[in-house]
Amino acid sequence: MLKRVLIANRGEIALRILRACREMGIDTVAVYSDADAESLPVQLAGRAVCIGPAKAADSYLNQNAILTAAKATGCDGIHPGYGFLSENADFADTCAKEGLIFIGPSGSAIRKAGAKSAARSLMRAANVPVTPGSDGPVRTVEDALAAAKQAGYPVLLKASAGGGGRGIRRCDSAEELPAAYAEAKTEAMACFGNDEMYLEKLVLRPRHIEVQVLADRFGHVIYLGDRDCSIQRRNQKLIEEAPAWNLSDSLRKRMGEAAVRAAKAVGYENAGTVEFLVDSAGEHFYFMEMNTRIQVEHGITELVTGVDLVKEQLRIASGLALEKTQEEISLSGHAVECRINAENPAQNFCSSPGTVEFLHFPSGMGVRVDSCLYNGCTLSPYYDSLAAKVMAHAPTRLEAIRKMRRCLEEFTIEGITTNAELAYQILHHPAFVRGNATTVFLEEQLTALLDFSRKADDFDLSGGADV
Ligand code: ADP
Ligand code: ADP
Ligand code: MG
């Protein structure tokens, strides 16, 4: 079993990993930038090592500093969390070379899944349905125009190295394509240092449904149900739920089995997520990408399956076999998560860092809050704006939604502005309550939802009461 783990991340996910390690009797080493010297993981870890200044490129992405810290403190493993180095195949390889266990898949599996355009051909070969689009990358505007003509407009130009909803541009006609292509490439280069693009047909009014998988080194691969992450703004998730609602059992099973094939196709080990789009008829699903790491929204799967995914990651990385077979995975109840971000919806969602002057988190039966904030702490402008993940778990979907509304009524944070009120409005919207919201729901309803003067109770809930 792993004995001492370096947590190569920050914020709520660093704390989440630290908690799992402590419960398993694994020593922890936190790393931090100058901006995070007083953070909770630094205060709670067995040891803490400063790895550089605030800028992520100089600290949380500084591979040498992290490897040096791991060796100097006698760690045998490194947990990368999400973002930062979590999907960096070279880093995974270097860890292995240096005799450190990377708590995630091999560099080779990350490479296969992470090049999003190449992954599409691999998935097709593994009999996993993929979104119609280009075979491989589109390297010139002419390539892109040809692929778009074949797929049929509207299309999406997407960065092969993409993540976090960036490097994606919609394009409705051949006239629009050259400008969209140039814009997407520039954004991809700025975000990922790689501007390779590919092209997909835009699936109209789809739902984003993803499947959680676990794989060990003995070839066992299982799936732990699905999550609906359709409530998105600018391709970034805001509210997620598990299991996905209004999905036929047969489609659910086919998606779960396709996710297992996807994991096997890249030689996967550890926890991962296979993301799909489901068409508006609820009949077809298409592979979008595989995220080779723990996902932000992993907690709702934990609530409905009772499986601690981070502990499973640590067990798998230690060389142990999966504890459960597919038949032993059963789901109980329904869970909803709201990502509370430090951003101001009234000012085009500009980020709102600052000092937390007063904080009260909801609690009670079936409530979980994953957050790194405390009274008096400072939310740094250097990193992403996630302030807290509020999760509610109840026997039925409607009870989980009601519990989440209650949670947000209690949630209090002073000193920074958040999107909590917006989330509260969404939880009252009939399309959300009925469980048939798609990925365009939030953009379409945003103006109405931001009219906080209207009371949430004014939404017509008829048709939603039977959920
Ligand atoms: P999830 O799919 O787990 O919901 P997100 O897409 O919200 O994940 O991304 C989780 C975090 O990781 C965010 O902070 C995001 O900015 C970051 N992230 C995701 N993909 C990448 C990437 N390829 N490079 C850098 N950061 C990324
Ligand atoms: P990222 O790596 O940034 O997470 P994804 O490929 O997962 O990128 O796409 C992010 C989001 O963009 C999806 O959740 C979905 O809402 C939207 N999207 C991506 N591809 C398509 C598509 N072909 N048609 C419609 N929407 C899409
Ligand atoms: Mg994605």
Indicate whether 455 pLDDT > 70. Answer: no
The tens digit of pLDDT for each residue in 356-399 reads 999 999 999 999 999 999 999 999 999 999 999 999 999 999 99
Shortest-distance ligand to the CA of residue 159: 2
Indicate whether 461 pLDDT > 70. Answer: no
The tens digit of pLDDT for each residue in 305-356 reads 999 999 999 999 999 999 999 999 999 999 999 999 999 999 999 999 999 9
The answer, yes or no, to whether any atom of ligand 1 lies below 6 A from the CB of 295, is: yes
The tens digit of pLDDT for each residue in 228-283 reads 999 999 999 999 999 999 999 999 999 999 999 999 999 999 999 999 999 999 99
Average pLDDT, the chain: 95
**Global pTM value:** 0.95
Instruction: Please answer whether residues 405 and 195 qualify as being in contact, where contact means their C-beta atoms are separated by less than 8 angstroms.
Output: no
Active-site pick, 293, 315, 339, 397? 293
The answer, yes or no, to whether any atom of ligand 1 lies below 6 A from the CB of 83, is: yes
Ligand 1 mutation target, pool 9, 13, 16, 82, most atoms within 8 A of CB: 82
Residue 279: alpha-carbon gap to chain centroid? 21
The answer, yes or no, to whether any atom of ligand 1 lies below 6 A from the CB of 430, is: no
The tens digit of pLDDT for each residue in 411-442 reads 999 999 999 999 999 999 999 999 989 999 99
Q: What is the pLDDT of residue 464?
A: 44
Q: What is the pLDDT of residue 436?
A: 87
The answer, yes or no, to whether any atom of ligand 1 lies below 6 A from the CB of 296, is: yes
Asked about 368 being catalytic, the answer comes back as: no
Instruction: Please answer whether residues 208 and 229 qualify as being in contact, where contact means their C-beta atoms are separated by less than 8 angstroms.
Output: yes
Q: What is the pLDDT of residue 452?
A: 76
Q: Which atom of ligand 2 is nearest to the CA of 204?
A: 25
Instruction: Please answer whether residues 231 and 297 qualify as being in contact, where contact means their C-beta atoms are separated by less than 8 angstroms.
Output: no
